Structure formats: structure tokens, C-alpha cells
Amino acid sequence: MAKKEIGYCVKCREKKEFKNAKKVTMKNGRPALKGSCSTCGTGMYKILSSK
Ligand SMILES: [Zn+2]
């Protein structure tokens, strides 16, 4: 994934760039992005809007 994805890191308490962002599907069928914070490495999720 070449595009930079931004998510909210609960540890940094601010928006951070995803590291190793991966598209996943949650249990309810919605697409989400899973990765880790590029600053501290904490796991981050971002809900993607379904198209
Ligand atoms: Zn962080």
C-alpha cells in the first residue's frame, strides 16, 4: 500500500501515520484498516467507509 494512511493513536493521543497498514474485514462485514502507529508502534484501527 503506497498511499499513506492516517489514523488515531490512543497512546500518542493524536493522528499518526499507519505503519504496515493492512485492509481487514471486521466481524460485522465492514472494511477496516489495521496497522500500528509509526511513532510508538501501538496497534491502530481505522474504520473505512464502505463504497
Ligand atoms: Zn502512537
Distance of CA 9 from the midpoint of ligand 1 (Å)? 5
| CA–centroid distance, residue 8 to ligand 1 (Å) | 8
Q: Where are the domains of the chain?
A: 6-47
The pLDDT tens digits of the residues spanning 26-51 come to 999 999 999 999 999 999 999 998 66
Burial class (CB in 10 A: 0-12, 13-18, 19+), 9: buried
Q: What is the pLDDT of residue 20?
A: 94
Distance 37 CA to ligand 1 centre (A): 5
C-alpha cell at position 41 = 508502534
- What is d(CA 48, CA 38) in angstroms, rounded to the nearest whole number? 19
- Predicted pLDDT at 2: 58
| Number of helices and strands in the chain (H, E) | 0, 4
Predicted structure pTM score: 0.76
